[in-house]
Amino acid sequence: MRSLPAGRWAVRLIVWLGLLPGALPAFAQSTADLLPVTEAYKLSADAATPGVLKLHWTIAPDYYLYRGRMKFKAGDGVTLGEARLPDGEKHHDEYLGDVETYHHAIDASLPYTVAAGTTRLKLSVQYQGCHEVDPKICYPPHTEQLDLPLPANSGGTASPADGNPLGAALGQLGSRANSVTAGTAGSPLPAEQAFRFEALAQNPHRLLLRWTMPKGYYLYRDQTVLKLEDAAGLGLKPAWPAGTRHHDEHYGDVSVYFDQVELPVTIEGDLAGRRQLALEASFQGCQDGGLCYPVMTRAVSVDLGSGVAANGQTIEAAPEPPPASIGEGPLQVSLIAALLLALGGGLVLNLMPCVLPVLSIKAVSVLESGENGATARRHALFYTAGVLVSFAALGLGIIALRSVGHALGWGTQLQQPLLVGALACVMLAVGLSMSGVVQFGATLGNTGASLAYRSGPAGDFFTGVLAVVVASPCTAPFMGSALAYAFAAPMLAALLVFLALGIGLALPFLLIGFVPALARLLPRPGRWMETLKQVLAFPMYLTAVWLVWVLANQRGADAVGLVLVAMVLLAMTLWWFERSRSRGAISKALVAVLAIATLVPMYLLAHVPPPSSAAATEEGVVAYSPEKLAELRAAGTPVFVDMTADWCVTCKANEHTVLDTQAFRDLLRRTGAVYMKGDWTDVNPTISAFLQQYHSPGVPLYVVFPKNGGPGRQLSTVLTSSRVEQALTEAAR
């Protein structure tokens, strides 16, 4: 059997555990002749050339290396460039798909720069390979630490004018000697090519500035000045990311940026309806090991609504303000209106398919309370407390992170694969409990009755927490407007909106608990309740299946294998936990061992990278990018933009009923519109910026752009065929 690379070692471990003991000697004998990884792949390094590290692998016969599994990480004072690897042999791997491999030997080079005072070249090199004949087995990723002396002139200072007339001329205009690294600098590029500057509006009060430099060029942070033209009362507040420390003979200790730097800038003050801003950026940079450029100034006109990057030349702004969910913007709605919308949205959320499985837990507890009014009220209060605390924590966390520049929104916690995997395990555990495999909070000896009684409120509270977590992929009617208001409102008003959503979600059970007339309408408890509980376990299992499907789209088959192993180990843990209740300490210790084993594949899951190759675009669908959207709009093409995610249940419902139908495809052909889709299943800053422009707290977001270049029209989060047809027909006129 061939073992699995990278994250699949947990799967292999479980398979090995299942082998009969008699098979172990045979396996040991079959693998005894395998070479140690450092002998199968002998790595040597040559740092004699300043600025370039040369690497060489000698690969033993019947072994090969994966090209795509090579990774390089810099040590202190070292900045690595892009590795130059030769093309490998095309190969279809049973587990990794289409890959490139190396046999016999490989030579690679790795450009680098070092900070002033660095005397050693330290970095780590990771690689992975396999034995391709029996026993066919893959090694786990192997990392080697390199610590090499630098060439004699690597830390020296290069003269910007040596042998370069242009360098001498620019040096007289204010060049700054560079001591980051030396070497022979090539002919300097024109300033426009060496320092590409772009600016775009993420939302009306936030800009994103981007400098892109070729390899070997860097930008000074503290020599950059930003200002707005003809914008009295407005100010700019940049939030610079951490740079590379560099000692400059003229400026002293400074921060510089290589390759690319993105700078979020907050616009402070009242925009007073402005749709465009004239921005002027002055900055200075250098060629690494060569000359420094004089101060450069670029002027751009930024459209606050288009999301199109201005590239350093004055451009004519398109008259397109960012649309809003209600009126002229989210804060045009009063707080009272936002609270009513949130209350209604939370109430309707109870009917959404993502919440129904969790509500089945709550329904069982309410029915079991029967006519006991005190018990029903306790269920309702603790469930409501769990809902409100979770909504408040989720809302405040999102708003706080967004305020410091993180693009988060409603449901973005499901962009984290580890959380998705953990939720799948939780749903499985709850389902097993409802099926009778395990009884949480059941008796432990003679003290069980009191423990069971005290565990009730905790169970109700946890059910409320779980309801909020699984509700986030859904967006009920009215919720989009209320959440948009919350994300733009002051902190206290935002907190009230999130609490109103929670009250709406918990309201049905509050009414049952505190209105006796409604409670009397519930059926009396009886033996049928056990059957109902077991039937309601199956929606929990289906929810776990859905979460595993989401995980497959986020991290591929490796992640699915790991979470399935975790779920099997969890089921084994719960099964043995139930059997160990009346047994001794050894049996209870085994429960702890199994529980710890369950965490191992979850730990590995957190380190599974996204799939290396992007999935093929659906037929008739254009992948979203600001550049492509601008190109289509400039050509006079109407565009239907769909921002979606695999974990968004409302998105999938809209696709099933409207967007994945023949009627919608016929409508696109009839109107000449382009269907553009953005996938927010995983973290994507470009899509986050688009969502912010339209004050959208999350997905789904649907915007129809007309062919005449006018403003985009934002549609409701819950689509109907007639509404989409009307919007596209008007956009095509």
Q: Show the tokens assigned to 94.
A: 């049973």
Output the pLDDT for position 664. 94
Q: How confident is the model at residue 326 (pLDDT cuts 50, 70, 90)?
A: very low
Beta strands 97-102 and 63-66 are: antiparallel
Contact in structure between 75 and 122 (CB atoms under 8 Å): yes
Summarize pLDDT for 424-433 with one digit per residue, the tens: 888 888 788 8
Summarize pLDDT for 84-117 with one digit per residue, the tens: 888 888 887 766 778 899 999 999 988 888 887 7
Place of tokens 């009014």: 373
Output the pLDDT for position 102. 92
Q: What are phi and psi of 59, to 5 degrees?
A: -105, 125
Output the pLDDT for position 523. 63
Average the pLDDT over each of 178-192, 252-266, 623-637, 696-710 and give the range with the smallest value.
178-192
Q: State the Cα–Cα distance between residues 559 and 561, nearest whole angstrom.
A: 5
Output the pLDDT for position 729. 93
Contact in structure between 419 and 430 (CB atoms under 8 Å): no
Q: Show the domains of the chain with their CATH numbers.
A: 6-149 (2.60.40.1250), 165-303 (2.60.40.1250), 330-605 (no CATH), 621-731 (3.40.30.10)
Q: Which residues contact 87 (CB under 8 A, 6 or more apart)?
A: 100
Summarize pLDDT for 342-399 with one digit per residue, the tens: 888 888 777 766 666 666 666 666 666 655 677 778 888 888 898 899 888 877 776 6
Summarize pLDDT for 711-724 with one digit per residue, the tens: 888 898 888 999 99
Predicted confidence (pLDDT) at residue 703 exceeds the cutoff of 90 = yes
Tell me 498's DSSP state. H
Q: Show the tokens assigned to 352.
A: 């959404």
Q: State the Cα–Cα distance between residues 12 and 18, nearest whole angstrom.
A: 10
Summarize pLDDT for 194-217 with one digit per residue, the tens: 888 888 887 778 888 989 888 888
Summarize pLDDT for 462-494 with one digit per residue, the tens: 888 877 777 766 666 566 666 766 666 677 887
Contact in structure between 338 and 395 (CB atoms under 8 Å): no
Q: Show the tokens assigned to 717.
A: 């989060």
Predicted confidence (pLDDT) at residue 4 exceeds the cutoff of 50 = no
Output the pLDDT for position 474. 67
Predicted confidence (pLDDT) at residue 642 exceeds the cutoff of 90 = yes
Summarize pLDDT for 286-298 with one digit per residue, the tens: 887 667 777 888 8
Mean pLDDT of the chain: 75
Summarize pLDDT for 408-427 with one digit per residue, the tens: 556 666 777 888 888 888 88
Output the pLDDT for position 574. 87
Output the pLDDT for position 506. 86
Average the pLDDT over each of 494-498, 508-512, 517-521, 661-665 and give the range with the smallest value.
517-521
Tell me 703's DSSP state. E
Q: Which residues contact 126 (CB under 8 A, 6 or more apart)?
A: 69, 70, 71, 72, 73, 141, 142, 143, 144
Output the pLDDT for position 462. 80
Mean pLDDT of 551-573: 88
> Computed over its alpha carbons, how large is the radius of gyration of the chain?
30
Summarize pLDDT for 62-72 with one digit per residue, the tens: 899 999 889 99
Q: State the Cα–Cα distance between residues 258 and 335, nearest whole angstrom.
A: 46
Mean pLDDT of 315-327: 36
Mean pLDDT of 575-583: 81
Contact in structure between 348 and 713 (CB atoms under 8 Å): no
Q: What are phi and psi of 256, to 5 degrees?
A: -130, 165
Q: Which secondary-structure segment (H or E) carries 700?
A: none
Contact in structure between 112 and 77 (CB atoms under 8 Å): no
Q: What percent of the chain has pLDDT over 90?
A: 12
Predicted confidence (pLDDT) at residue 628 exceeds the cutoff of 50 = yes
